[in-house]
Chains A and B, each alone.
Chain A
Amino acid sequence: QSVLTQPPSASGTPGQRVTISCSGSYSNIGSNSVNWYRQLPGTAPKLLIYVVNQRPSGVPDRFSGSKSGTSASLAISGLQSDDEAKYFCATWDDSLKGMVFGGGTTVTVL
């Protein structure tokens, strides 16, 4: 059971906008910045969004992040076939004194 709650799956057609939610509590999302990771099968996760809405070099601006209260969201606009992957949210939890992850959301392009 993950500390952060994500929907197990999300889908859309090419060109659509898909949003993934990440729900937590005051001790984690409510008090700290959120990062998003993307993972392809058999590979290490890749940092996609950091500090809520910043993109590392090389990540297209089709990916955006936001946070409100104890929830965060990742939006993928202009969905492409190679966006199919598993996406994880993560943040620090002040009560647990550790990093916590969501269970991951698998995005499928229909």
Chain B
Amino acid sequence: QVQLVQSGAEVKKPGASVKVSCKASGYTFTSYDINWVRQATGQGLEWMGWMNPNSGNAGYAQKFQGRVTMTGNTSISTAYMEVSSLTSEDTAVYYCARGLYGGNSLAYWGRGTLVTVSS
């Protein structure tokens, strides 16, 4: 079965960077894009971007361009999402997700990684 296992919670200081991992299993990692979505406590879902593990290409939401980098390591079927110049507004749960048949219907989700930004 398809599984996406994310790294554990992180606490960072303002201005720092954080890198969250998402290890995929149960399917061919290079066949599907990985999307990243975040959710601040009590708030809605916010799409951050996508990464194609086969080509390495990535696309980012305008809000995050220049501050977010999405990469993958095909040898270990793991996707990464790094956010730099963190502020308190980046405190959120970060999810990786995969489409049902590719595309934007996100059928498989990781459990989420809580990133807390606090001085």
Contact = CB atoms under 8 A, between A and B. Distances in A.
B74 interface: no
A43 B110 CA distance: 10
Interface of A is mostly: strand
B71 to A, nearest CB: 19
Interface string A74-110: 0000000000000010111000111111111000000
A46 B109 CA distance: 8
Contacts of B45: 37, 45, 88, 90, 101, 104
B80 interface: no
Interface in B46-97: 46-47, 49, 59-62, 95, 97
Contacts of A35: 104-106
Contacts of A40: none
Contacts of B97: 44
A44 B111 contact: yes
A92 B61 CA distance: 11
Contacts of A88: 44-45
Contacts of A37: 45, 106
B61 A98 contact: yes
Contact of B100 (A43, A47, A96): A47
B41 to A, nearest CB: 11
B95 A44 contact: yes
A50 B110 CA distance: 19
A6 to B, nearest CB: 9
A68 interface: no
A51 to B, nearest CB: 7
A98 B49 contact: yes
Interface of B: 35, 37, 44-47, 49, 59-62, 95, 97, 100, 104-107, 109-112
6 contacts: A35-B106, A88-B45, A97-B62, A98-B47, A98-B61, A100-B47
